[in-house]
Structure 1
C-alpha cells in the first residue's frame, strides 16, 4: 500500500528544556529506528511544554493521530510510550483501536514495541497504566517539595513579577535595579487612583516595555498589582477538584498561607507593602463586578457580533467589544497606542443582520460563499472525520507539488539526462503518482457527513428562524457565513453611515480544501432548522460527486 513505507514521528516534552529526553534526542533515536527499518519520515509532530497527563490541548498529538488514522502514513513512531500519553489505557487504548482500524501501527522505540505484533498490546496496556501511576506519584512528590520550599520562604519557580529578581543564593526575591523604578511608578499611580488604562498608556508613551517585551495593557497592569509576590508574599495558584477527582488550576493567584499557623509567608522583598496591596485591591474591586466567587454563564444579552467585529484602524486590527451602547476597540481601552474605532452597536448589528438575511437567499447553489458555509457547517458536525480528511487533503497537495517540481526538473531545468537518469525519473514519478492515487482513494473512502443549507436560501424561513433565535444561535449562524466585520474610525458627532464604515468579510473556502475537494453541494433530505443550535448528523444531508 502507498503508506506502508512512510511514517510520522510524534515527540513531546512536558518541560521544554535540554536533557537526556530532549526533543532533539527523541527525534534522533526515532529517525534512526525508521532508517533501520526502511521507513521514510514524512513529518515530525512536536508538542513542547505540553503535559501528557493533564487535560491540555496538544496540536501535535492531534495532527499525528489524524495522519495515521486517515491512512496518510502507515506507522506512527514515538520515542517512548509515555511521550504519547500518560493518561493510562483509557486514552492509549482508544488510540490503538483507531490506528488498528485504519490498518496502521504504533512503534515505541525505547520500549521495543510494535503494535503490528499481536502480543504487544498487552505490554502497551501495562506500560500505559505504569506511566499514569508515575505521573500521579510525581505530582505528589512535586507537591511535597513545593510545600517544603514555601515553608522556608523560598521562590518555587516561574518568572517573578516585574521589578523583582530571584537571588541565586537565598532563592528569595530582591529588587531588579533596572526595572524596579518603573514598577514603583505603576504602584504609585495605582495608589493615586489612576485607571489601569491610563497607567498603560503612560508606560507605552515613554516606550517602557512590558516583561514580555511588548506594550502594556490594563490586563497586564492588573495582573502585576494583584500578584502577592509584588508585595513580597509567597504566591499560590488556586485549584479546584474536578468531577473525576483530580485537581485543576483556576488561574487565580492568592497569598500562600502556612497550613498550621494560617499566616501568610514572605518570599523576600516586594515593590509594595502588604498594606499598599490591600489598598490597591480594594480600589480595583470597587471598579469591577463581583461574581460571588463563581463563574457565571454569559447572559443572553451578550452582543450579537462578539468575536466577529474588529477595529479597521491601520496597524491595529484588534477585536472590538460592546461597551455601553457602542462597539469599541479593545486595544484603545486597554491602553495600547490605537486611535480607537467605535460605533453604535445597534447600527452595526442592524446593518450586518440585514446584509446576512438579504445576501444568503440570493445565492446560487454553486456560489463560493454557499460552498464555504456548507463546508464550515459540515466540519462542525463531525470534526474527527474532517481532521482525517484535512490531513489527507494536505498530503495530496504536498505530493502533487513534489510531482510538479520533479516534472519541472526534467522538462524545464533538464536535470534528468541520460538513460539512467530518465529511468530514475520514471521510478520517482511512478512512486509519487501511485501515492497520490492511493491518498485520493483513501479520501474517497472516508465517510462524508452531509449538510442541507437549503433553509438558508429561503428568505421567509431564514427571517422567521432569525426572529425566534437567541443571540448565541444568531452568532453561530453568522460565523458560518462571515469571517469578520471591520469598523473604521468615524468623525465625532457625525451619524454613522454603515456602507462607508462597515466592511463584511464573507467566508472563503480554505485554499487547500478548495483545490483538492471536488464535491459540489446540492440540497436534499430533511430541512435543518437554521435558528436552532448546532446541527446533528441526522438533520443534514450532503451528496458528493461519485
Structure 2
C-alpha cells in the first residue's frame, strides 16, 4: 500500500506487517498491526511512504516473503530511513535474515521502531546485541510452537482424528449442522455443511470396494476411470476422475482404517474401514509394482498388441497393429517394421479360441495359482494387530513426552518393517488369479466374451506367451490362406505346449 510523497524535510518511513497464520483469510491480523504502526508514525510526525504486507507467511518457515524482500531492495535504494514494525519478531525470526537486516541498516543509516518493544538502535553494539537476543528468543518461541503443533497433530493422527484438508473420497457424512468459513476466492463468509469425517459415505464406499476388487481381479486404472465417466462419478471437488485421482483414491490408507502422519503409517484409526486391510495391501502391491506400466498411454484395441512376440528369426520384439502399406484390414507387424503382417482379427480370434478350449478342459483347475490355503491368514492378521498395538503404544508414549524422538523413531521403523512383511503375505491371500472367473464356469466362452479387453489381456499375460512365426506361403491344407501353425503357444501354466 502506497501513500503520497512526504513534504520537504520530513522523515520518510515505511511499515512492514506480517502474520504467519490467517485462519479466516480475512487479513485482520495485518490490519491491526498496520493501524498501530500508522498511529506510531502519526505521533512521531513521520510520513509513511509504503506499507509492505506478507499475510499468512511465517518468518521461521523459510518460505519466500515477497514484500519483505521488496522492502529491503527499496531501503537499499534509499527510499526511507525509518522502518516501523509492530514487534521485532514480525520483522524476522531467522538469524541469517537478522544479520542481513543489521548490515543493511548500518550501511544505509536506517532506524527501526516497534510499537511493542520501542526503538531498536542497530547503529550501536548494544543495540545490535539487543536485536540478536530478541531474534534468538523469537526463534526459540517459533521452534517450541512448531514442536507443540507437530506433537498435537501426531497425537490426533494416532487417535485416528481427521487432520483437515480436502474431503477424501469415501468419507464425510453431513451432520445436519452448518459452520461458517471464508471463501478464499471472494473473501466472503459462507455457510457450509459440517461433516462427520469418521463416517463413510455409503455410495462412495461401495465404489471404493468395487474398484479394489476390480484391481485384484486384474482390472486396470484406465478401465476404472472409464467406469467413473460412464457412471457420472466425480472427485469430491466435482471434477472428472483422472488416472492419478483414481490411483490416489485406491492407495489412501484411510480406506483401510490406517492412521497416517506426515506420509507414514502410525497405527489404527478410530473409524470403521471401508476396505479390508489385506485387500488394500494387495492393491498397493499391484499398483506400486515397478514392472507395472505407470502411464495411461493409448487404450489397446487388440488382444495381442505389444503382448504377442515377433517370431521372425531371433527377433526379441513385440508386435503391434497397423494398417500401413495400403492394407484393407488391421495387421500385426513387428515394432521394427521388418517382414509382413498377420491379419489381427483372425489372429485374435484364433488365440481366443485356443485359450477358451484350454480353460474348458477337465484339468483346467490345475492352472489356477495356489489359493490362500497356504497362507495362515488368521495368524498373520493377529500378528499385524500386535504390531499395530505396539506402534500405537509407542505413539502414546511419545505424545505424552515419556519417550524421546530417537527411540520412538527406531521403534516405529522396526515395527513398520515387520508390518510390511506381514502385509505382503496377506496381500498374496487377497490377490485374485485372473483365471478364477473362467475356470469352472458353466460356459467358458460366454464368460470370456463377457470380460473387458483389459481383463482378457491379463488372462493372456498370466496364461500363455504367443509368438507369431513366419507363415508359410500359399493355400493351407484347410483350403484357406491363414497359417495357424505359425502361431506358437508357450504355456506359462500347466506345462503344455502347442504350436
Q: What's the TM-score bracket when you normalise by the shorter of the two chains?
A: 0.3 to 0.5
Bigger Cα Rg: 2
